Amino acid sequence: MATTSAAQRREQAKRDYDAFLEGCPTRELLSRLTDKWVALVIPALAGGPLRHGELARRIAGVSQKMLTQTLRTLERDGLVTRTVTLSVPVCVDYALTPLGHELFPVMVAIKNWAETHMDRVFEARTQFDARP
Amino acid sequence: MATTSAAQRREQAKRDYDAFLEGCPTRELLSRLTDKWVALVIPALAGGPLRHGELARRIAGVSQKMLTQTLRTLERDGLVTRTVTLSVPVCVDYALTPLGHELFPVMVAIKNWAETHMDRVFEARTQFDARP
DNA sequence: CAGTATCCCAACGGATACTG
DNA sequence: CAGTATCCGTTGGGATACTG
């Protein structure tokens, strides 16, 4: 029988899927990945598992509604695991899956890009706003 | 006088800015960058300048309202240039700035990630939805 | 502590119609 | 062709109160 490696299958997927096309499922996945909270949660979890409250403190200003919602969809998409330890009070840990670890470099790259180029964007905005 | 290289200043910026902090301006920039349309427009322009209509055709399904809106904010943030050639009818070209070219690898990485890992996400969703 | 459930406002975003 | 303006439904997302 023919054997196809994981690398070959990934290559195939890249040919079959195209986010430029309307109706391609990757368009929906792309819109989930391009999310402010996702770009903060994935890097936050890269250092190791964190609890709900720890995440909330790390990502200052996030409401627990958005945090829970984000973690749920990340869990469903196989990027994050949710582990419940029964105790009083109950303890819930979130951690990146292998797939989540593969996404991490991409997410941290956006975050870093914003932090690194903030000043140049500010300059551009000032110039743009000052023109006739 | 002390001379600081561009690389040194970028390092400084990365220390001063932190998107994890509420109120840090990079939080707002991050939310602009994590946008489905931005993740499609930047890669679309990487091959060279395109006109409004060409972009709309490349990014299937985008409304001209969202396309114009996205291009405006990208222009203001210094990522895209807008060049008007007066003729009948008028011709408007959009192209990446040097800053836009620096963002390109990051944006194309997300798009590629979605296309490459779509199948694994599908599997994860099926598993998640099938559990008690 | 972790999570669900409402309420409610603002922003997103598509459809349509109209200018230069 | 490129762009603006308007309408209008949908979603995002915060605040609050309440359970295990």
User: What is the rounded average pLDDT of the residues A122-126?
Assistant: 95
Residues in chain B: 132
Which residue of chain A comes nearest to B11, CA vs CA?
Answer: A116
Say yes or no for a CB contact (<8 Å) between A114 and B78: no
Interface residue B99 vs chain A (CB under 8 A): yes
pLDDT digits (tens, 9 = 90+) for A77-106: 999 999 999 888 899 999 999 999 999 999
User: What is the rounded average pLDDT of the residues A38-61?
Assistant: 96
Q: Is the CB of A52 within 7 Å of strand C?
A: yes
Neighbours of B25 (CB within 10 A): 16
Say yes or no for a CB contact (<8 Å) between B78 and A36: no
* Interatomic CA–C1' length for residue B76 and nucleotide D11, angstroms: 26
Write the CATH number of the domain with boundaries A34-130.
1.10.10.10
Say yes or no for a CB contact (<8 Å) between A40 and B19: yes
- pLDDT bin (cut points 50, 70, 90) of residue B17 is very high
User: What is the rounded average pLDDT of the residues A11-32?
Assistant: 87
A121 in Cβ contact with B25 (< 8 Å): no
Interface residue A6 vs chain B (CB under 8 A): no
Long-range contacts of B58-65 (CB under 8 A, 24+ apart): B58/A20, B59/A20, B60/A20, B60/A21, B60/A22, B61/A22, B61/A23, B61/A27, B62/B37
Interface residue B126 vs chain A (CB under 8 A): no
Say yes or no for a CB contact (<8 Å) between B114 and A22: no
| A125 pLDDT higher than 90 | yes
Among residues B69, B65, B64, which one has the least CA distance to residue B38?
B69
pTM of the full predicted structure? Answer: 0.91
